[in-house]
């Protein structure tokens, strides 16, 4: 049976095909010979709503994929910055310039909220969602899985644990010296803690520069068309 791919999960590769019989068939990434994309024409065996033995016939993006109606690119479809899509969607690819626009907006929002006692901090927690969304799409644009976004969170959590263990250990070991305001003891305590803080800054700055500077993967990849020129799909100029 012939059909067209209408949905693909960016993480698992599983998706949905609409068949020429009008039915819809789910498929698993393991049942395909190559990564499928929205709009691909396929031949498949459909049984009880499940597609197997899938063979891609072409890779022409459908109107939904090319027009940006929810997955591959901003809804505007013009290359203009789409705030809602950039901040709240995990599908598709985000070009570097739009990543930095998003980062600037989130940084400014976080700064303002930080000036508001208690309530600002609580509301600021909600900024984690758009921060993850823009980073996932930027990783997609680089041709990498969005699960990489977990790496800095794990590193930060590990550093926080080490920081507090080091802090309590140093204070316990140097309690008497600190009480006597011994300069050597104070340097030993705060010096080691300062090293952890410096490492924290290096890791997070390095991550930010990596995903913000590395160029887009040329052409289309499994996460969608190149956001710099989704029609041509071959452009790879600096943005």
Same domain, 135 and 89: yes
CATH assignment of the domain containing 13: 2.40.50.140
Q: How many CA atoms does the CB half-sphere of 57 hold within 13 Å?
A: 10
CA 229 vs CA 97, 159, 224: distances in Å = 13, 40, 11
For 208, the domain range is 150-218
pTM of the model: 0.60
Q: What is the pLDDT along the chain (239 residues), one digit of tens a residue?
A: 899 888 887 667 788 898 988 889 999 888 787 778 888 888 999 888 999 888 888 654 444 444 333 344 554 444 678 888 889 889 888 999 999 999 999 999 988 988 888 888 888 888 999 999 999 999 999 999 999 999 999 998 998 888 888 777 766 666 666 566 666 656 666 666 777 888 889 999 999 999 999 998 888 888 888 887 655 444 444 44
Q: How far apart are CA 28 and CA 49, in angstroms?
A: 12
**Residue ending a domain, choose from 141, 160, 192:** 141
Task: Find tokens 């011994």 and name the residue.
Answer: 182
Cα–Cα distance for residue pair 1/17, rounded to 1 Å: 11
């Amino acid at each position: 049976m012939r059909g067209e791919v209408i949905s693909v999960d960016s993480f698992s590769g599983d998706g949905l095909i609409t068949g020429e019989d009008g039915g819809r068939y789910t498929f698993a990434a393991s049942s395909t010979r190559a990564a499928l994309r929205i709009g691909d024409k396929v031949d498949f065996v459909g049984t009880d709503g499940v597609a197997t033995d899938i063979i891609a016939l072409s890779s022409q993006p459908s109107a939904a994929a090319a027009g940006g109606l929810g997955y591959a690119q901003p809804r505007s479809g013009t290359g203009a910055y789409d705030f809602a899509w950039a901040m709240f969607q995990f599908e598709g690819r985000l070009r570097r310039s739009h990543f930095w626009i998003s980062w600037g907006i989130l940084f400014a929002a976080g700064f303002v909220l930080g000036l508001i006692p208690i309530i600002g901090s609580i509301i600021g927690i909600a900024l984690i969602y758009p921060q993850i969304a823009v980073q996932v799409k930027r990783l997609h644009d680089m041709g990498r899985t969005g699960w990489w976004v977990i790496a800095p969170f794990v590193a930060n959590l590990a550093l926080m644990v080490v920081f507090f263990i080091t802090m309590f250990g140093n204070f316990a070991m140097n309690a008497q010296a600190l009480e006597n305001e011994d300069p050597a003891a104070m340097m030993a305590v705060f010096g080691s803690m300062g090293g952890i803080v410096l490492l924290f800054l290096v890791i997070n700055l390095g991550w930010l520069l990596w995903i913000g500077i590395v160029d887009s993967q040329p052409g289309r990849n499994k996460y969608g068309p190149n956001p710099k020129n989704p029609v041509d799909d071959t452009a790879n100029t600096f943005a």
